[in-house]
Amino acid sequence: MPNHKKSLLTRFLIWRYKNISNKNFLFILSILIGLLAGLAAVVLKNLTFTIQAFLEKGIVFSKNQLYFILPSIGLILVYFISKYILKKTPEHAIASIIYSLSKKTGLIPFSKIYVPLITAPLTVGFGGSVGLLGPAAASGSAIASNVSRLFHVESKTRILLVGCASAAAISSIFKSPIAAIIFAVEVFSLDLTFASLIPLLLASVSAVITSYFFQGDAVLFDFYITEKFEIKDTIFYILLGIGTAFASIYFTKMYFAITKVFNRFSNPFKRLIVGGLTIGVILYFIPALYGEGFGFINNLLAGNHIKAIGVTPFDTYRDNIWVVIALLFGITIFKAIAMTATLASGGSGGIFIPTLVMGSALGNIFAKVLNNIGLNLHVSEINFTLVGMAGLIAGVLHAPLTAIFLIAEITGGYGLFVPLMLTCAISFLINKNALDFTIYTRELAERGELLTHNKDQTVLNLMNLDAVIEDNFVPIHNEMYLGEMLHNGVAKSSRNLFPIVNDNGELEGIILLDDIREFMFEKTLYNSVKVKDLMHDAPDYIIYEEDNVKDVMKKFQDSGAWNLPVIKKGKYCGFVSKSKLLTAYRRKLINFTEE
């Protein structure tokens, strides 16, 4: 049976090569991947909502106000299922996609299709304070990678299709195809050329159609702008941009600080217990942080801040607007903590939707303060809620265009385009000057493995050091005499460089043919001069575990050498030549940039 399936696939591929051009086949695959990624997002949402509905109706926790222990139960389930059944540890979804694009040419294991579909609904369904967008993108990207591999698609096209799948996930969840395309370009650093735009568009639209087919007209934010932007509010939107910028810096730094604390626990079960207790305490005082938070956002947009905040120990004082503002401020502060604790303790989820929640609270706070400080001001709380969401997305993700078009699409128009551009631009610029990288990209950037819109940088990141290491150099020993070196080394090598390697495989130095050219035919020196008398250090060394191709290129530039030795685990393993490196770079650049 497997052989029969293989022959069918082979026949199909042969037929495809004869009858369908690569460009048209790319369009077909982008539609297919959009449908499949959209379906994965729908499945993910429905599983999560099913779990939430079961817990709300079938369990007495909510009636007894004990819902704050549910996230711990969800994390425990994720831990045991991941360890003993799936045998896969949940990963940071978007960061893992970016890594697969930069260092794995878009190759993603098959298991990443179904792992997020199991772990994310359990995490979020039980009240974990994270989002579903990241897991949806991860599952869709894994589908795209494996479909590409099935149909023998080249690496460059596979990378584009992974980007298409991520766009499809956003398009399906938010029903915002334009923002989805821009997200793929901004976050994954895809080249927005005509050749890439059409597949992204097809995938995004097909994902939206899938979402409409299975879920009808239901949208996450059922809202339309009723209050127009007024020019007199411009200064306030500028101030909101500054506020969201500092909030986004806080969000990012808090994420890494809390993650660092959790990483100190060597036992993952201890991390789970600490994370569960942390989330439980936060939820007891701020129940609005339970789950993703779409209900919170929708209640704010409906003007019902009491319902948005939920039942808290401070209900007696909710008639005081400043208490309401304080509670909303608590949501702004503690959303980042609850989200990070969920992820750091082993939960599965994303940061995109928590960012929206935090931004909506901040924007609403800003408007409420203006309206209640006694200066006879009146601004639209709903508009500031929306723009606050965009401002935080622009800062946290370094994706201002995604933020602008997302809010424009989910509100059904572009009435807030001017304040959106103002706030997002300010938030992005301040955050970008304070933090070079985002939660998604910092660790990859520190390792030099991050794709960017800089083609030179991207090509270097896509190159593999193993592909340019040469090992056809004849090693010699430092105790060899000159005559023995000429007989066993020079005579048997086509290279003009010789590594001196000891019995432990460690590199002690090098000798160039130029070093011995003047006296290599003086036989009187053959049995008196030893290799150790002639050898010298290499101009620089390439450390396999530490240096990437960009580092190697810089070492050639700084040293002026034509060949540099590679040290792997302390042992000599070959050389990299400048000519081979530049040839490989040119070939990769041509392959990357050709239409």
Residue 468 DSSP label = G
How much is the pLDDT for 485?
Answer: 84
pLDDT, tens digit (0-9, with 9 covering 90-100), for 164-182:
999 999 999 888 899 999 9
The greatest distance separating any two alpha carbons of the chain, rounded to the nearest whole angstrom, comes to: 103
Phi and psi angles of residue 507, each rounded to the nearest 5 degrees, phi first:
-80, 125
| C-alpha–C-alpha distance, residues 489 and 474, integer Å | 6
What is the domain class of 2-215 according to CATH? Answer: mainly alpha
What residues pair up with 438 in beta bridges, in sequence order? none
Q: Where in the chain is the domain with CATH 1.10.3080.10?
A: 2-215, 231-450
| H or E stretch at 577 | strand 571-577
Buried b (16+ CB within 10 A) or exposed e, 78-87: bbebbeeebe
For residue 577, list its beta bridge partners. Answer: 563
Structure tokens at 363: 């924007």
- pLDDT for the residue 62: 47
The 3-state secondary structure of 387-449 reads HHHHHHHHHHHCCHHHHHHHHHHHCCCCCCHHHHHHHHHHHHHHHHHHCCCCCCCHHHHHCCC
Instruction: In the chain, list all ranges with CATH 3.10.580.10.
Output: 457-593
Q: What is the pTM of this model?
A: 0.77
Could you tell me the two tokens for 245?
């910028």
Where do we find the tokens 């500028």?
A: 238
Any residues with CB less than 8 A from the CB of 402 and at least 6 apart, and which?
A: 179, 182, 183, 186, 187, 393, 394
Say if residues 70 and 127 touch (Cβ distance below 8 Å).
Answer: yes
The CATH fold of domain 231-450 = Clc chloride channel (1.10.3080)
DSSP-assigned letter for residue 83: I
Cα separation of 212 and 230, whole Å? 34
Whether 411 contacts 221, CB under 8 Å: yes
Nearest in space to 532 (alpha carbons), one of 491, 504, 501: 501
Query: What is the homologous superfamily of the domain 457-593 according to CATH?
Result: CBS-domain (3.10.580.10)
pLDDT tens track, the chain, 595 positions: 455 556 787 888 888 888 888 889 999 999 999 999 999 999 999 999 999 888 877 554 545 466 778 888 899 999 999 888 888 877 777 888 887 877 777 889 999 999 999 999 999 999 888 989 999 999 999 999 999 999 988 888 888 899 999 999 999 988 889 999 999 888 887 666 667 789 999 999 999 999 888 877 666 666 667 678 888 899 999 999 999 999 999 999 999 999 999 988 888 888 888 998 899 889 888 888 888 888 899 889 888 888 888 877 777 777 889 999 999 999 999 999 999 999 999 899 989 999 999 999 999 999 999 999 888 888 999 999 999 999 999 999 999 999 999 988 887 767 888 999 999 999 999 999 998 888 887 776 666 555 554 555 666 666 778 888 888 888 888 888 888 888 887 888 778 888 998 988 899 888 888 888 888 778 778 888 888 888 888 889 999 888 888 888 889 888 888 889 999 988 999 999 988 888 887 777 666 555 4
